[in-house]
A and B are shown apart, each in its own frame.
Chain A
Amino acid sequence: MNSEELAWKIRRHGIEMTHLSGGSHIGAVLSVADIIAVLYTDILNYDAKNPRWEERDRMILSKGHAGAALYAALAECGFFSVEELKTHYADGSRLSGHVSHCIPGVDLSTGSLGHGLSVAAGMAYTLKKDRRKERVFAVLGDGECDEGSVWEAALFANHFRLNNLIAIIDRNYMQSMDFQENTLEMKDFGAKWKGFGWNVIEIDGNNHRQLKRAFQKAEEYRNSETHKPTIIIANTVKGYGVSFMENNILWHYRFPHDGWEYDCAVNELHQSIPPGVEDIYTPKGIEKPIFPTEQDNINSDYTFTYTWNTTYPERMRRVEAVGDSNKRKYTQQRKEE
């Protein structure tokens, strides 16, 4: 299975899992899918038959709300049965909405943001002290970087020269309620990490060729004299792969409901199904799909923080979504007179 195939499967499972369970965070699952896919097909050393194998690379999904993406990858890679994915969120299931270490292949339970990088740093620190060659990968969200503990970990990882630590930021520019710039503006993100002493690689995080090259570069950094931790800032689009979910904050929490939402999401994925990949849920897509009607305002971005603090002298809204595309429009920042 190559990374494109796995990424497609993660997206398809993600749609099915959230659809069946009424679960949230499909937007994040779709944005991180390519990062997770490339990690599990091309980068990580693991043994699905022996999940606790001592020589495995450690992998922490710090943005635990995208757990469905990780579960899908683990199942497809043989850690547990693909069939089990359908139990996501269900009574008696192992697959909680946020990542759980009770599942084979998971090194750390997450869900509260800002923990993963610190734990990853502790793991990398120990592995380095013990002169072991395993690497530690941590996948974070950019919204997660609002948490101060992320920056504590950034200091620690540089100070102890944790060159065996590779962090990947799923930089989808959105968080729970709005674009990041409209929430807590993250100026010069790459420069911040550079300023904390990290090697910084910035790429298109939905592009597998670029992801693989970035990991290759990270590997060169790891073996270089500088002994610095590396961060890959993977610029992604929230909701990537399903056009009406892209850059639309609604899909941080909404799940694809029965009807046009589910039908159109599935059929859109089918337009880009890699040859030879089988869709176990809807092998041929949906033959008679329901389409949205006039009332379904599918291109609204649902962000609305500009309506808050209307008397506040500084204009806080800096980014608008451009309807029906994965683009963002930056608004001129100005002072209200």
Chain B
Amino acid sequence: MRDTFVKTLVELAKENTDIELMTGDLGFGVLKPFWEQCPDQFTNAGIAEQNMTAAAAGMALNGKRVFTYSIGNFPTLRCLEQIRNDCAYHNANVKIVCVGGGFVYGSLGMSHHATEDIAIMRALPGITVVCPGDPVEAKLATKAIAEYPGTCYLRLGRGGETEIHKKEFEFQIGKAIKIREAERIGKKIAVFSTGAILDEVTKACNSLEEKEFSIIQYSFPTVKPIDWQAVEVCARKADVIVTIEEHNIMGGFGSAVAEVLAELGQKVKQIRLGIEDCYCTKVGSQKYLREQYGIGKERIEEAIENFR
């Protein structure tokens, strides 16, 4: 996903010299294609995220489209006020890019887990929150936000994510993507996810389908603005909506869906899967931590089966 992002950005930056990439001294190797091919549009701002983000705002206010790049919580929480005051308030054309949404940097520990970022960025007015689920979504999302004139947050996984979408499709900020809708007898289950957990979710849905479950699956690459319409359609059709995110269950994607459901007033039940409002104290790979914290494929499957 990370490499897809860089590759896409290189293509865009070659066509549009207003595109700038700034890094907080991270992306060794990864960003190489960019600085080799667009050296004039690349800046290493050093390990100083507050300055990087505010300087990006200054650049954007003078006509640039600036992508700030770092990992985990460094491009967001470390410089939150610069995002709020300097970028979002001025509607500055800054795209904040986080590599390592969720448990990507598993064994590195809690400091490197971005598990509250969606909630926090979503709470800031004027910020579009985009969390692509696979490399195809990442590519299309990168193109879309580059064209979008305002502050955006792009939350990426790392590398090696499975391509869930077999081909490119029309990508629109704020639109969810339907992955499947199987007509079977019995209770209808709508499964929504955002971000790279899509892989685990899809695997769980595959195996549930084999067990004759009636599944509607959507990927939500945009958390803000949330696709109200997709939620509404499913709220009418389904008996339960399950939301899954590699993120705290508080304030993030599940909460965004819950806000819509509460106002729709439908009878549909919602199950929110995510990290149960705790910090990660266990050590292990992304896969291991997903399982431990209730969002691995098996645990998703279990939660849905228990409902039936």
Contact assessment for B48 and A121 in the assembled complex, using a CB-CB cutoff below 8 Å: no
Contact assessment for B62 and A152 in the assembled complex, using a CB-CB cutoff below 8 Å: no
B89 at the interface (CB under 8 A from A): yes
Contact assessment for A126 and B51 in the assembled complex, using a CB-CB cutoff below 8 Å: no
Contact assessment for B48 and A112 in the assembled complex, using a CB-CB cutoff below 8 Å: no
Contact assessment for B62 and A123 in the assembled complex, using a CB-CB cutoff below 8 Å: yes
B58 at the interface (CB under 8 A from A): yes
Contact assessment for B57 and A119 in the assembled complex, using a CB-CB cutoff below 8 Å: yes
Contact assessment for A108 and B61 in the assembled complex, using a CB-CB cutoff below 8 Å: yes
Contact assessment for B55 and A122 in the assembled complex, using a CB-CB cutoff below 8 Å: yes
Q: List chain A residues, Cβ under 8 A from B82.
A: 115, 118, 149
Measured CB to CB, the nearest residue on chain A to B94 is A122
A194 at the interface (CB under 8 A from B): no
Q: List chain A residues, Cβ under 8 A from B203.
A: none
Measured CB to CB, the nearest residue on chain B to A109 is B89
Measured CB to CB, the nearest residue on chain A to B63 is A126
Q: List chain B residues, Cβ under 8 A from A153.
A: 51, 54-55
Looking at A114, A152, A156, which has the most chain B CB atoms within 10 Å of its CB? A152
Do A155 and B46 contact each other (CB < 8 Å), given the known contacts A118-B82, A119-B86, A126-B64?
Answer: yes
Nearest CB in chain B: distance from A63 CB, A: 14
CA distance A115 to B43 in the complex (A): 19
Measured CB to CB, the nearest residue on chain B to A123 is B58
Interface size class for chain B? 20 to 34
Q: A129-B40, A155-B48 are in contact. List 16 more A-B contacts (CB 8 A).
A: A101-B90, A109-B85, A109-B90, A115-B86, A118-B54, A118-B55, A118-B86, A119-B57, A120-B58, A122-B58, A126-B64, A127-B62, A130-B63, A149-B82, A152-B48, A156-B48
B56 at the interface (CB under 8 A from A): yes
Nearest CB in chain A: distance from B18 CB, A: 10
Partner among A109, A111, A112, A122 whose Cβ is within 8 Å of the Cβ of B59 = A122
User: B81-115 toward A: CB 8 Å interface, digit per residue (1/0)?
Assistant: 11001100110000000000000000000000000
CA distance A107 to B59 in the complex (A): 12
Contact assessment for B58 and A126 in the assembled complex, using a CB-CB cutoff below 8 Å: yes
Measured CB to CB, the nearest residue on chain A to B58 is A122
Contact assessment for A112 and B55 in the assembled complex, using a CB-CB cutoff below 8 Å: no
A213 at the interface (CB under 8 A from B): no
CA distance A115 to B62 in the complex (A): 17
Q: List chain B residues, Cβ under 8 A from A124.
A: 58
B50 at the interface (CB under 8 A from A): yes
Q: Enumerate 12 A-B pairs (CB-CB under 8 Å) in ascending A order.
A: A101-B89, A112-B85, A114-B50, A115-B82, A118-B50, A120-B58, A121-B55, A122-B54, A123-B62, A126-B59, A152-B48, A153-B51
Nearest CB in chain A: distance from B305 CB, A: 49
B12 at the interface (CB under 8 A from A): no
B45 at the interface (CB under 8 A from A): yes
CA distance A108 to B206 in the complex (A): 52
Q: List chain A residues, Cβ under 8 A from B61.
A: 107-108, 119, 122-123
Partner among B58, B63, B64, B85 whose Cβ is within 8 Å of the Cβ of A121 = B58
Nearest CB in chain B: distance from A144 CB, A: 13
Nearest CB in chain A: distance from B103 CB, A: 29
Contact assessment for B51 and A118 in the assembled complex, using a CB-CB cutoff below 8 Å: yes
Do A115 and B90 contact each other (CB < 8 Å), given the known contacts A123-B59, A123-B62, A126-B64?
Answer: no
Measured CB to CB, the nearest residue on chain B to A147 is B50
Q: List chain B residues, Cβ under 8 A from A255.
A: none
CA distance A114 to B60 in the complex (A): 19
**Residues of A77-135 contacting chain B, CB below 8 A:** 101, 107-112, 114-115, 118-127, 129-130
Contact assessment for A119 and B55 in the assembled complex, using a CB-CB cutoff below 8 Å: yes
Contact assessment for A115 and B64 in the assembled complex, using a CB-CB cutoff below 8 Å: no
Q: List chain B residues, Cβ under 8 A from A118.
A: 50-51, 53-55, 58, 82, 86
Binding site for B on A (CB under 8 A): 101, 107-112, 114-115, 118-127, 129-130, 148-149, 152-153, 155-156, 159-160
CA distance A104 to B63 in the complex (A): 19
User: B233-266 toward A: CB 8 Å interface, digit per residue (1/0)?
Assistant: 0000000000000000000000000000000000
Q: List chain A residues, Cβ under 8 A from B62.
A: 122-123, 126-127, 130
Q: List chain A residues, Cβ under 8 A from B59.
A: 122-123, 125-126
Contact assessment for A156 and B58 in the assembled complex, using a CB-CB cutoff below 8 Å: no
Q: List chain B residues, Cβ under 8 A from A130.
A: 62-63
CA distance A108 to B86 in the complex (A): 8
Nearest CB in chain A: distance from B233 CB, A: 39
Q: List chain A residues, Cβ under 8 A from B86.
A: 108, 115, 118-119
Q: List chain B residues, Cβ under 8 A from A160.
A: 43
Measured CB to CB, the nearest residue on chain B to A100 is B89
CA distance A118 to B51 in the complex (A): 5
Looking at B43, B56, B62, which has the most chain A CB atoms within 10 Å of its CB? B62
Measured CB to CB, the nearest residue on chain A to B57 is A119
Contact assessment for A119 and B40 in the assembled complex, using a CB-CB cutoff below 8 Å: no
User: B67-87 toward A: CB 8 Å interface, digit per residue (1/0)?
Assistant: 000000000000001100110
Q: List chain A residues, Cβ under 8 A from B50.
A: 114, 118, 148-149, 152
Measured CB to CB, the nearest residue on chain B to A122 is B58
Looking at B58, B63, B64, which has the most chain A CB atoms within 10 Å of its CB? B58
Contact assessment for A122 and B56 in the assembled complex, using a CB-CB cutoff below 8 Å: yes
CA distance A306 to B56 in the complex (A): 41
Measured CB to CB, the nearest residue on chain B to A159 is B46
User: B197-214 toward A: CB 8 Å interface, digit per residue (1/0)?
Assistant: 000000000000000000
Do A156 and B90 contact each other (CB < 8 Å), given the known contacts A115-B82, A115-B85?
Answer: no
Contact assessment for B57 and A122 in the assembled complex, using a CB-CB cutoff below 8 Å: yes
**Residues of B177-212 contacting chain A, CB below 8 A:** none
